[in-house]
Amino acid sequence: MQARRHAAQPSLSARALRAADAPISALMRQALEQPGLISLAAGFVDPTSLPTEAARTAAVSLLSDPEVARVALQYGSTPGNTPLRRQVLERVLRADVADAHTPRESLIDPPTEEQVVLTAGSNQLLALLADALLDPGDCVLCDAPTYFVFTGLIESVGGHCVGVPSDENGMLMPALEAELERQAATGTLGRVKAIYVMSYFDNPRGVSLAAERRAQLVAIAERYSRSHRIYVIEDAAYRELRFSGADEASVRAYDTHGETVVYAGTFSKSFAPGVRVGFGILPKTLAPAVLSLKGNLDFGSPHLSQCLVSRALELGLLEPQAQLLREIYASKAAAMLAALDEHVAPLGGCSYQRPNGGLYVWLNLPEYVDTSSRGRLLLRARELGVLYVPGEYCYPARSERPSSSMRLSFGVQSEERIAEGIAKLAKAIAEAL
């Protein structure tokens, strides 16, 4: 027996073999290994603004009444805590109605709490959707560039993402139609299971989908839902992190009959990542499949976290926190943009957009500059003490993958460190130009 022990290796599933580490993980590990490095790479939230006082107040309130505490400490249900599901739904519907542009028809068939599922961050919802909708060989259409964790998820179930060109107002609807037409012409429309958009201040570019495109997106998805429903997965993770302008109605609000759009939201950005409460509002026809998969996985996410968020909402602790975040990220974004204006703009050939929310600025360099790990710039920036996410990582694997841009996050670092980081980065860029 002993002699054999080194011979036998694991026989991993096809899924496990696909789920290899993303290149971003190696990058993040490097960041941790280099002390003093200013990471403008991690998409984490600002640590100083985390709601320690609000969390304590909510926890004490929740756990001081033994009756209430017992409920929070017991198992929940697979879809999650019902009061929080109601609160979540009400918040989204209220926000959508507040936008004067919301189509009136959106009131025809409003979703109910039965269509709401609470997940371990919105990421788990995206993972469940990938599992529910995709077989190997299937695909999802998405912005190019898009959220690299999402493309990784799709690839881990054997699917692939097809990038659709996007401008400073989000996905280009004529390009989306052209792609769907192309799929129809090649007989592969049956493999297109969803269209994924980050509708507010997207990761990686900080771009929001323009209102008129939201309506068009739903209409196009419906029009091409011939043999089967092509869902729109609306990832609204950054919606509450708006620091300029008024909130806009979601893509979901344009889905008159509620059969096309899956809305994914989270309290990770607007409250605290550590509670890890995300949610989905699902079309009625899709909810049972997602709940069955979630039932198999974990019978429901941690009930205590859900009860804590519900209590924080009841106590009105989220609005002041959201206000605080808006102020903090407005200042941090301004600090990053001011530093880019001062150090990078004068170099010439570089461009960036001014976001109204979220955590990111997307920086385009001249095409001949390689921001990827194959180029000099990433290494030189690290030598100088600053880290960014190469833009290439944000493009789907099978699409064209331009490699002269980068994602810069103003989430984690202080204003001083942001300014210092951008100055270092500008030095590295200047050498590359």
231-250 residues in contact with a copy of itself (CB under 8 A) are 231
Applying CB under 8 A, among 166, 183, 301, 403 the residue interacting with a copy of itself is: 301
Which is nearer to a copy of itself, 226 or 398 (by Cβ)? 226
31 binds a copy of itself (CB under 8 A): no
43-62 residues in contact with a copy of itself (CB under 8 A) are 44-45, 47-48, 50-53, 55-56, 59-60
Total of chain residues touching a copy of itself, rule CB under 8 A: 94
The arrangement of strands across the sheet holding 360-364 comes to: 351-352, 360-364, 405-409, 389-390
Round to the nearest angstrom and report the end-to-end CA distance of the chain: 62
CB of 131 to a copy of itself, least distance (A): 6
Q: Which stretch binds a copy of itself (CB under 8 A): 21-29, 173-181, 318-326, 341-349?
A: 21-29
Q: Which position has the token pair 């989430």?
A: 411
CA atoms of 201 and 11, how far apart (whole Å): 42
Applying CB under 8 A, among 297, 322, 347, 423 the residue interacting with a copy of itself is: 297
99-128 residues in contact with a copy of itself (CB under 8 A) are 120-121, 123-124, 127
DSSP string, 77-106: -SS--HHHHHHHHHHHHHHHHHSTTS-GGG
141 binds a copy of itself (CB under 8 A): no
CB of 292 to a copy of itself, least distance (A): 4
Which is nearer to a copy of itself, 52 or 323 (by Cβ)? 52
Rounded to 10 degrees, what is the CA torsion of 291, 132, 148, 80?
A: 0
39 binds a copy of itself (CB under 8 A): no
Q: How far is CA 385 from the centre of its chain?
A: 27
152-181 residues in contact with a copy of itself (CB under 8 A) are 152-153, 156-157
Q: Which position has the token pair 């880290």?
A: 387
CA atoms of 265 and 240, how far apart (whole Å): 10
- From residue 182 to residue 201, the character string flagging contacts with a copy of itself as x (rule: CB under 8 A) and all else as - is --------x--x--------
377 binds a copy of itself (CB under 8 A): no
CA atoms of 177 and 155, how far apart (whole Å): 23
Q: What are the DSSP E strand ranges found in 199-251?
A: 231-235
CA atoms of 133 and 229, how far apart (whole Å): 10
At position 235, the amino acid (one-letter code) is: D
CB contact at 8 A, 82 and 117:
no
The three-state secondary structure class of 354 is: coil
310 binds a copy of itself (CB under 8 A): no
Residue 96: both structure tokens together:
């959508």
- From residue 67 to residue 96, the character string flagging contacts with a copy of itself as x (rule: CB under 8 A) and all else as - is --xx-xxxxx--------------------
433 binds a copy of itself (CB under 8 A): no
CB of 16 to a copy of itself, least distance (A): 4
